Amino acid sequence: MHEDEEIDPMGWQLGRSVVRGEIDARTRDQVTGRLWLLDRQFPIEVTLKGNPLRDLAGCLLEFENPTPEPEENEGLCPIQMGKTGDITASQKTRIFDLSPQQVRELRQRGEPVACRVGNLLSIEWYSNANGRVTVESTDFHIRISSFSWRMSVEEEKEQRRRNHEVFEQWSAIVAYESDEDDGMDMDDFEDPRDWDMDEFGWEKQLQESDAMTSRYMELLETYLDHPEREQIIAHEMGWDGLDGMMDEDEDEDFVFDTGFFFDGDEDDDYAPLEPLAHTEGRDWVRCRDGKIRHPLSDRAATLAMRM
């Protein structure tokens, strides 16, 4: 965790809703893992490029939350693919035996606040779907396997440098999108994202799409006969707001096609899609019928027709 991160609230911060999880760093330059959340049946799948810091590099980390609590995670993609940030179980932090509100009240009155120093489990990554994601807690029960390989001091310095580089890239994207949302003239600004992908970039994109399709089909098979399967699948897939839109008009006849809901006849007028050209193939594709769909929706529809 970076102490000087002012845009920290704009990332995803998890901890209370985590039931248990595992981070496998026994293969160099690759971190995989799973994260079980309180209100989700299926775990979040994590595949990252990079390594943890020295205390966890080469190890299998397993952790469990003794007292999980509900926490907002709507919109969190079930497939997390990207790059590692700082992943460590030995970061020192102050631990208070009082609630955050009690700590604030004591500080406002100028009274001393008793605390102790302990280890913070901090798992940070930067995904293609959700940007910066952190899982942090001092309360987790953790188990760490023996080392399958050891990271040197020089390798850890290089890993920290890469982590900071990824953080800077993410910060630039956040700043760019914030300026764009404020209606500023973006002619003099350059999009920090490099949309020109080589064959390896496209292969990674296809792998992510395949993983999302597999998860969707798994959910579809599991909840095929459930009366609320659309809402459940939308929540498990992290489609922010989709399940809420279904609940608002559950008595009306809706057809889900290209990312919009249509009330009644499909021939009714509706707002046309205006996709960004540089996101083609990642956020949308143009199908044979001329319609624009999300790549996952198109692949699922094609697979369903073949079945």
Q: How many domains does the chain have?
A: 2
- Contact between 55 and 90 under an 8 Å Cβ cutoff? The reply is yes
CB atoms near residue 100 (< 10 Å) = 8
| pTM exceeds 0.75, yes or no | no
Q: Give pLDDT, residue 251.
A: 47
Residue with tokens 């009366």: 227
Same domain for 223 and 103, yes or no, is no
Pairing between β-strand 116-127 and β-strand 285-286 as defined by DSSP bridges: unpaired
Averaged over 178-203, what is the pLDDT? Answer: 58
Is residue 248's pLDDT more than 60? no
Same domain for 203 and 131, yes or no, is no
Beta strands in 96-162 (DSSP E): 116-127, 131-137, 141-144
Separation of alpha carbons 106 and 189, rounded Å: 46
189 lies in some domain: no
Is residue 264's pLDDT more than 60? no
- Contact partners, residue 223, CB within 8 Å, separation at least 6: 229, 232, 233
Q: Which domain holds residue 238?
A: 199-306
15 lies in some domain: yes
- Contact between 119 and 92 under an 8 Å Cβ cutoff? The reply is yes
